[in-house]
Structure 1
Amino acid sequence: MTAIHPSAIVDPKAQLDSSVQVGPYSVIGPHVRIGAGTRVGPHVVIEGHTSIGCDNQFFQFSSIGAAPQDKKWSGEPTRLEIGDRNTIREFCTFNTGTVQDAGVTRLGNDNWISAYVHLAHDCQVGSNTIFSNNAQLAGHVHIGDWVILSGFANVHQFCQIGAHAFVGMSTSLTQDVPPFVLLSGNPAAAHGVNIEGLKRRGFSRAQIDGIRSAYKLIYRSNLTLEEAKAALFEEEMASPEAAEQIRAMREFLNGATRGIVR
């Protein structure tokens, strides 16, 4: 039998694996699915059309799958999808998507989400990220794998942050952030490459050197953005060891919709 505390309220239509644990006074809605090994702490509300994978842990007082904070939302059955092995700490708020976008908010696998984090409607968050206390995402934000948001960082709607970027404490982002970039401040400014993070994740010296060269082309060479894209293509051809990483930066620039922090 699923380990459900007697004071918890679980709708009979909810689909919970037999190994799921639900703590005191938590509420699980009818359209919720929760996979094996997930633990839901006390005083957690999980509602909406929410799908949760395996081996997640939800700490107390979080609101998961509530309606989007969007005045255009008219009760459409939009969704929230959470992957596997995520840690969601106290007082987090994750909303479902809207039909104005993909209709789904997503959180990938192996993320560490600290207290008071907000994922607004239609956010797409990758895997292996770390969000420190009070990091806040507005609607339609896309976050790549291995991104770190420091405490009180906040991200404007529709912004994109590339993989392995590092955002400093209390940074306010209103533009896109290319992969591998370290930035902070208000307004935000780039301060180099997230070298320490890349070393910890096993990037080679050649790969890091290639990323640094690409960063200099974007930020230190007085090139226009179009000139930087062309220079990145040449750098990619000349640096086979780092070609994948340089290509990722170039393709990010091509897909940036709000301009980049520069």
Structure 2
Amino acid sequence: MNQISPLAFVHPEAKLGDNNIIGPFCYIDRDTVIGDNNIFQNSVTVNVGARIGNGNEIFPGASISTKPQDLKFAGEITTCQVGDNNSIRENVTISRGTASKETTIVGSNNLLMENMHVAHDCLLGNGLIIGNSTKLAGEVTIDDNAIVSAAILCHQFCHIGGYVMIQGGSRFSQDIPPYIIAGKFPVKYCGLNLIGLRRRGFSNELIEHIHSAYRLLYSKGIISEGIDEIKNNLQITPEIQYIIDFVETSKRGIIR
């Protein structure tokens, strides 16, 4: 049974699962689907097109599936998909998609900290930590288990690899490959995310293997030549293949 505050508004066409708590001054619009066991603290707005899973906690002032801040948006029917067990803190805004991809996706088990923004058509994976006041422009992709610190500005279309740590206050317009620390100004490769990898159960041998891949990758003036060095000199484990695929499919180029 859902617990809905008498001071909340839930549109008659909204679809709610079971055991949700909807606090005072929440607004849940039409064409929304909400699963089970979610907690909406006071003053949460769930806009048209929201698809929210199970076990999420959404804090005051958050707005989910907001109208895209894109002048090309012409009112097309799009969605914003949020997975399970996310903590979406105060004043977070997540836009729904546009005609480009038709949806914005936030995976599961993420912590989105206060006042951060996820723009239209972004694709966020699982196990992410995204810090206070960080802003993601449109169509950004973040792979699983990345840590994106506070007050970061991420250009549209960027791709952030898994298991990275990005220094707070950074701004960048190129892709950040997996397993690394990125920081300084301008943003650059600062070594492997050693602590993060060890916490995630990566062995010392595997970490050294990944480190060897980056030494080869950045040993050449041309990134494609660095990839050739990796292919010719290292055993291609799934982790190394991930690096190769990430770099070879990068559309904005990777940080150096």
TM range (shorter): over 0.9
Q: What SS is found at the alignment partner of 2:189?
A: strand
Q: Note if contact 1:153-1:172 (Cα within 8 Å) is conserved in structure 2.
A: yes
Counterpart position of 1:260: 254
- Shift in Å, 1:156: 0.1
Q: What SS is found at the alignment partner of 1:105?
A: strand
- Shift in Å, 1:150: 0.6
* Number of aligned residue pairs: 256
Gapped regions of structure 1 (runs ≥ 5): none
Residues 111-140 of structure 1, C-alpha deviations (whole Å, 9 max, x = no match): 011000100000000000000101110001
Q: Note if contact 1:170-1:185 (Cα within 8 Å) is conserved in structure 2.
A: no
1:239 aligns with 2:235: yes
**Identical positions, percent:** 35
Rounded Cα–Cα distance in structure 1 between residues aligned with 2:46 and 2:101: 21
Q: Note if contact 1:217-1:223 (Cα within 8 Å) is conserved in structure 2.
A: no
Q: What SS is found at the alignment partner of 1:206?
A: helix
Counterpart position of 2:116: 117
* Letter paired with 1:25: F
Gapped regions of structure 2 (runs ≥ 5): none
Rounded Cα–Cα distance in structure 2 between residues aligned with 1:32 and 1:74: 20
Rounded Cα–Cα distance in structure 2 between residues aligned with 1:65 and 1:95: 5
1:43 aligns with 2:43: yes
| Equivalent position to 2:224, from 220, 223, 226 | 226
Rounded Cα–Cα distance in structure 2 between residues aligned with 1:187 and 1:29: 42
* Letter paired with 1:239: Q
TM superposition score normalised by structure 1: 0.95
| Equivalent position to 1:249, from 226, 243, 247 | 243
Q: What SS is found at the alignment partner of 1:182?
A: strand
Counterpart position of 2:20: 20
Q: What SS is found at the alignment partner of 2:225?
A: helix
Rounded Cα–Cα distance in structure 2 between residues aligned with 1:186 and 1:138: 20
**RMSD value over aligned CA atoms?**
1.0
TM superposition score normalised by structure 2: 0.98
Q: Note if contact 1:172-1:185 (Cα within 8 Å) is conserved in structure 2.
A: no
Structure 1 segments of 4+ aligned residues over 2 angstroms from their partners? none
Counterpart position of 2:52: 52
- Shift in Å, 1:222: 3.0
Counterpart position of 2:92: 92
* Letter paired with 1:224: I
Rounded Cα–Cα distance in structure 2 between residues aligned with 1:252 and 1:139: 19
Q: Note if contact 1:4-1:23 (Cα within 8 Å) is conserved in structure 2.
A: yes
Residues 10-47 of structure 1, C-alpha deviations (whole Å, 9 max, x = no match): 00110111211100000001111111111111001001
- Shift in Å, 1:223: 4.1
Counterpart position of 1:81: 81
Counterpart position of 1:132: 131
Q: Note if contact 1:46-1:65 (Cα within 8 Å) is conserved in structure 2.
A: yes
